[in-house]
Amino acid sequence: MAEAGDMITFLGTAGARVMVANQILASGGLWFSLGGTELLVDPGPGTLVQAAKRKLKARKLEGIILSHRHLDHSADANVMIEAMTEGGMRRKGALFAPADALDDDPVVLHYLRPYLERIEVLTEGGSYELGGISFRTPVRHRHPVETYGLVFDSGRHTIACLVDTRYFDALCDHYKADVLVLNVVRLEPGGLFDHLSAPEAGQIIKALQPKVAILSHFGMTMWRARPWEVAKGLADQTGTRVIAARDGMRFDLAELG
Ligand SMILES: [Zn+2]
């Protein structure tokens, strides 16, 4: 049998209010198959539907990670826990989330928690194991709720997910990886909300020099500017391969060599 490869499936590429509320793009988060371990990150609204559409079986999941409690990252957490554990018939899997997603006003229902084998609280500088992979949450992001980006190591590849945050310089120190996925909500810096813009993403890509950078989690200004054109501009500017994720896109890490 062929060895299981490393794959990322984008179950959604929408970021922030308007894109998610109108489902201009899907908002299903990221599904990782890493060294034979199936893992879901940030199950926003519609994740179950998007996974089924892509023939990804929730009962094969071994873990679910919430980078933070905002609904575009967590709305389908409960339904995915139920699906992963076959309605609690099969106690299994791990959930990872910041404390504020689990404590007051939790986004994970209490009655589902015993269905899981374990719940681990994400903290700054934490490192975690799941199946054959490990991951770290190197730095707390600047975002209105407790938020952590992720750096995965599958043994063959490293993948960083730089999730929602306002720009700060330490981002350029903590997310070195073969593949860098960036949540780029805004076309231009500024605005009311703590999110990255395209020029800030360019600055980070230039500093980190991944083999490939993948832009996702687009707000309206990015969508209007056509993410694939923004990606081309950033590729020219940084000398790095930059692509814009599309709903349903599967990125096979074998192509990195
Ligand atoms: Zn957020």
Give me the domains of the chain, ranges plus CATH numbers. 7-247 (3.60.15.10)
Q: Strand runs (DSSP E) across the chain, as ranges?
A: 7-12, 27-34, 37-41, 63-65, 94-98, 118-122, 126-130, 133-137, 150-153, 158-162, 179-186, 196-197, 212-216, 241-244, 250-252
pLDDT, average across residues 132-145: 96
pLDDT, average across residues 66-93: 96
Among 66, 6, 13, CA closest to 38: 6
Distance 245 CA to ligand 1 centre (A): 18
pLDDT tens-digit series, residues 185-239: 999 998 777 999 999 999 999 999 999 999 999 999 999 999 999 999 999 999 9
CA distance linking residue 223 with residue 125, whole number of Å: 33
- Residue 220 has what pLDDT? 95
Distance 144 CA to ligand 1 centre (A): 8
pLDDT tens-digit series, residues 200-215: 999 999 999 999 999 9
Is 1's pLDDT higher than 50?
no
Model-level pTM?
0.96
- Residue 102 has what pLDDT? 98
**Residue 241 DSSP class:** E
Determine phi and psi for 128, rounding to 5 degrees. -140, 155
- Residue 247 has what pLDDT? 98
CA distance linking residue 108 with residue 102, whole number of Å: 6
Q: Residues lining ligand 1 (ion), CB within 5 A?
A: 70, 164
Distance 235 CA to ligand 1 centre (A): 26
- Residue 8 neighbours by CB under 8 Å, 6+ apart: 30, 31, 32, 159, 179, 181, 214, 250, 251, 253
**Residue 4 DSSP class:** P
Among 163, 145, 137, CA closest to 215: 163
pLDDT tens-digit series, residues 35-70: 899 999 999 999 999 999 999 999 999 999 999 999
> The tokens 């539907």 sit on which residue?
49
Distance 217 CA to ligand 1 centre (A): 10
**Residue 162 DSSP class:** E
Distance 152 CA to ligand 1 centre (A): 20
